[in-house]
């Protein structure tokens, strides 16, 4: 939705209020902004923006890109690469040694 001309940007006002008053509840911030802006700001909108900002912070601090490391065969290209790797191990160390290694694990 395009920004309305002449009216304040509620989302930006909410972000600024959240930075200025991090300990206040969304309902308190909504009430304060409703009075300042002269139009209704619901606590639900404040809460939504607050959670999105927290999610951005978590993503930025974790350094995760694309959801992190996945090790399940279905998400790493299937079972075929695993079978190929297993065949290479069998060729390299032999079936009996590989079986003994697997049994010890």
22-31: per-residue pLDDT in tens?
A: 999 999 999 9
Give the ranges where the chain is alpha helix by DSSP (H).
Answer: 10-20, 26-37, 43-62, 80-93, 95-104
3 state DSSP class of 20: helix
State pTM to two decimals. Answer: 0.53
pLDDT at 65 over 60: no
The ranges assigned to domains in the chain are 10-62, 74-104
Average pLDDT, the chain: 81
């Amino acid at each position: 939705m395009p920004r309305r001309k002449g009216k304040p940007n509620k989302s930006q006002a909410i972000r600024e209020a959240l930075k200025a008053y991090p300990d206040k509840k969304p309902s308190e911030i909504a009430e304060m902004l409703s009075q300042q802006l002269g139009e209704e700001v619901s606590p639900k909108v404040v809460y939504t923006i607050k959670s999105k900002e927290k999610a951005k912070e978590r993503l930025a601090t974790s350094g995760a890109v694309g959801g992190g490391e996945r090790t399940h065969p279905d998400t790493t290209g299937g079972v075929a690469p695993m079978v190929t790797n297993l065949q290479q191990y069998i060729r390299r160390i032999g079936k009996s040694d590989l079986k003994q290694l697997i049994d010890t694990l």
